[in-house]
Amino acid sequence: MTAYKSTPDPIEQNRARWDDVVDIHVNSSFYRVAEFRRGETSLDPLVLSEIGDVAGQKLLHLQCHFGLDTLSLARLGAHVTGLDFSGKAIAAARALAAETDIAARFVEGRVEQAPGLAGTDFDIVFTSWGVLVWLPDLTLWAQTVAKCLKPGGRFYLAEGHPVTWIFEDRKDTYRENLNVVRSYFLDGPQHWDDPRDYAEPSVSLNHHTSNEWQHTLGEVVTALAQAGLRIDFLHEHDKLVWPAIPGMERKDRFFEAPEGAPRLPVAYSISARKV
Ligand SMILES: C[S@@+](CC[C@H](N)C(=O)[O-])C[C@H]1O[C@@H](n2cnc3c(N)ncnc32)[C@H](O)[C@@H]1O
């Protein structure tokens, strides 16, 4: 009998790495869990200004991590379900919901399992900040979103702009990092081997490997349109919740280009409706 070395599943590798970071994130100042426990929202002003009224709406949060934004949406009156493939994240989300006495449902699964695990009658599907690079197939993603929504239901996405990917990221200043070193058009996955976590870079993770798929803005919009969603807006933004181009400066919840430096689209948001 021939023994075959099995190829690691890139999604499973990502899940193991996301499992590793959950406790670190819950206890990090990056995620501001103490502020959330005191009653503050974890949602940033951009999302809050664009999400619209969620009160009384049945809302599905895809890739909810440990549920901080999901629970903040529940505090705004939404009936929330959060889905994530990290069992540790879902356990932490349930614990945080119980501790803060917020009604919420959390389910463990991959994005494409959402219709079966969470349901297909949502008024709103929400997903934000650092979600699409983990998904190899945007056609499947958009079809999943459409399946989960009721007819007339809304979809909202806030995400880092793919153009930030093309720049240098090891120089000291923002202007030096504006040098283009990567193609905008990349076939995935890109494999990374990095034990550091973005929220607590000093901590070394057990699972180093991650796999990311870079998607262009055109791919995202086309996938949504072809899944039967009508785009209400596509906004591009000059600020983002992480410093996608090193040298961006922090102003409140966002990172922006330094004063006088060229401002680029570093984030975008989409609102769409199932027709
Ligand atoms: C950057 S985080 C989510 C963003 C959220 N705004 C936050 O920071 O709390 C990305 C999340 O996607 C989840 N994830 C990655 N790939 C997934 C997949 N294929 N199915 C479901 N969840 C996935 C990870 O477990 C992680 O919780």
pLDDT value at 61 more than 60 = yes
| CB of 51 closer than 6 angstroms to any ligand 1 atom | no
Q: What pLDDT, on the 0 to 100 scale, is given for residue 2?
A: 46
Closest ligand 1 atom to Cα of 135: 19
Classify 209 as helix, strand or coil.
Answer: strand
Ordered alpha helix ranges (H), the chain: 10-26, 33-37, 45-50, 68-75, 87-100, 114-117, 138-148, 174-177, 217-226
Q: How far is the CA of 266 from the centre of ligand 1 (A)?
A: 20
Tokens 């690691």 correspond to 8
Q: What pLDDT, on the 0 to 100 scale, is given for residue 15?
A: 97
- CA 203, distance to chain mean position in Å, is 22
Q: How far is the CA of 76 from the centre of ligand 1 (A)?
A: 22
**What is the chain's length?**
275
Amino acid at 216: T
Closest ligand 1 atom to Cα of 11: 19
Give the model's confidence band at 5: pLDDT under 50 very low, under 70 low, under 90 confident, else very high: low
Q: What pLDDT, on the 0 to 100 scale, is given for residue 195?
A: 86
The CATH code belonging to domain 10-274 is 3.40.50.150
pLDDT value at 186 more than 90 = no
Q: How far is the CA of 176 from the centre of ligand 1 (A)?
A: 31
State how far the alpha carbon of 119 is from the alpha carbons of 58, 80, 135, 150, in Å. Answer: 10, 12, 20, 10
pLDDT, average across residues 123-144: 98
Strands 58-62 and 79-84 turn out to be: parallel
Backbone angles phi, psi at 100, to 5 degrees: -95, 0
Q: How far is the CA of 182 from the centre of ligand 1 (A)?
A: 24
Q: How far is residue 258's CA from residue 155's CA, in Å, rounded to a whole number?
A: 32
pLDDT value at 154 more than 70 = yes
Classify 235 as helix, strand or coil.
Answer: strand
Average of per-residue pLDDT values in the chain:
95
Task: Output the pTM of the full model.
Answer: 0.96
pLDDT, average across residues 123-132: 98
